Structure 1
């Protein structure tokens, strides 16, 4: 049976819509590390795994995501493993104008990275916002919430980095931002999807209320070159 394009979302992105961000070849690819720590391989043969290891600098970590079990090159050590659910949008959303939502730009890179580091929505590098449009909410000049677009494949786009500063939670900002990003993707004719840790039941309930439904579960592995 043929794999679904989202069973290996990173590989599919790096070899299609995000090829301009890709480094590597010969079956092993990764994003420019300033863009994202994501990496992927076409297969697990020794030569391909060595090619992946060659793309990782000493002391650097990569993140791999796929439905099948993940094999790590012998040159790398496993840092962590987890399971996520992949959810796909099933309902068309529309949004009204909301003055709180501001498009983020390169000028916001540092504060966006700081917010993601604090709230840990998933892998987020200093230039991750180059991967798509991001929206933010500011409170007294401080970025307190954001969401945007990350992985992209033909016909598909991932909503990601939905995060709210701890002192701003309970105001519905994650819902407002998630609705905005989802509606934007749909307006462009892209099918929205997202990834959420299996343990984050609160986030899953929010996404389900917006029409997202679980498609499958995926493995996530963080590996580092000593």
Structure 2
């Protein structure tokens, strides 16, 4: 089994080989998530991404390749690079004490639509309803309304990614995201796994993540493609 450092070099690949194996779609050594769950793809051999991308694009209008430092090859006659997101990976060093004053709820299937609508409001375009199946989601309610969430996304036997950190615009700057991230991180540690997260470079939330014990470790780049 690959050690943690190896897995973190290519988190999509190892997630699809372990915890999320049931979601894996493979084309000649290139792996993708089932497009109804997530549209991330992963590879080691970039010479194989041309054919794989063409095949996967038949199932979805757009998708990502995720890689630390390799650049995927594509068929420019069929696939267009929409944008490249210069991202980074953060790994928990040590979780500080965080006061949890809000009631945090483990969200069941009955909240799928509310989760989806909140994510689409704040971060439109990347989340799918079945993304909920990738891990646990936690939320905070105000006046019966779901206003802040965190979720779990990529994961293996060694790590779990904190993701979908989203707060309704009317409820920001109240410490809700901080408490949810801390709670989600504690749950990951209870499972004896390493909490990680990904974000884009320069994200204004990075100082918050650092206060919660996460450290920048490496680049993790996201190429967003769409079929012509």
Q: TM-score, normalised by structure 2?
A: 0.89
Corresponding residue pairs, total: 223
The separation in 2 between residues aligned to 1:137 and 1:107, in whole angstroms, is 15
Matched, 1:86 2:55: no
* CA-CA distance at 1:99 after TM superposition: 5.4
The answer on whether the counterparts of 2:99 and 2:179 sit within 8 Å (CA) in structure 1 is: no
Matches within 5 A, 1:1-226: 4-46=6-48, 48-57=49-58, 60-74=61-75, 75-92=78-95, 100-120=103-123, 123-200=126-203, 202-226=204-228
* CA-CA distance at 1:100 after TM superposition: 2.1
Q: Which runs of 5+ in 2 are unaligned?
A: none
- Which of 21-30 and 205-214 deviates more? 21-30
The answer on whether the counterparts of 2:107 and 2:138 sit within 8 Å (CA) in structure 1 is: yes
The separation in 2 between residues aligned to 1:77 and 1:58, in whole angstroms, is 16
The separation in 1 between residues aligned to 2:83 and 2:173, in whole angstroms, is 30
3-state DSSP class of the match of 1:68? coil
CA RMSD of the aligned region, Å?
2.2
- Which of 10-19 and 205-214 deviates more? 10-19
The answer on whether the counterparts of 1:67 and 1:217 sit within 8 Å (CA) in structure 2 is: yes
Q: TM-score, normalised by structure 1?
A: 0.90
The separation in 2 between residues aligned to 1:53 and 1:153, in whole angstroms, is 27
* CA-CA distance at 1:194 after TM superposition: 0.3
The separation in 1 between residues aligned to 2:59 and 2:153, in whole angstroms, is 26
The separation in 1 between residues aligned to 2:21 and 2:97, in whole angstroms, is 30
**For each residue in 1:53-112, what CA deviation from the matched residue of structure 2 results, as whole angstroms up to 9, or x when unmatched?**
212226611112111132142031111111111000011456777552111122211221
* CA-CA distance at 1:189 after TM superposition: 0.1
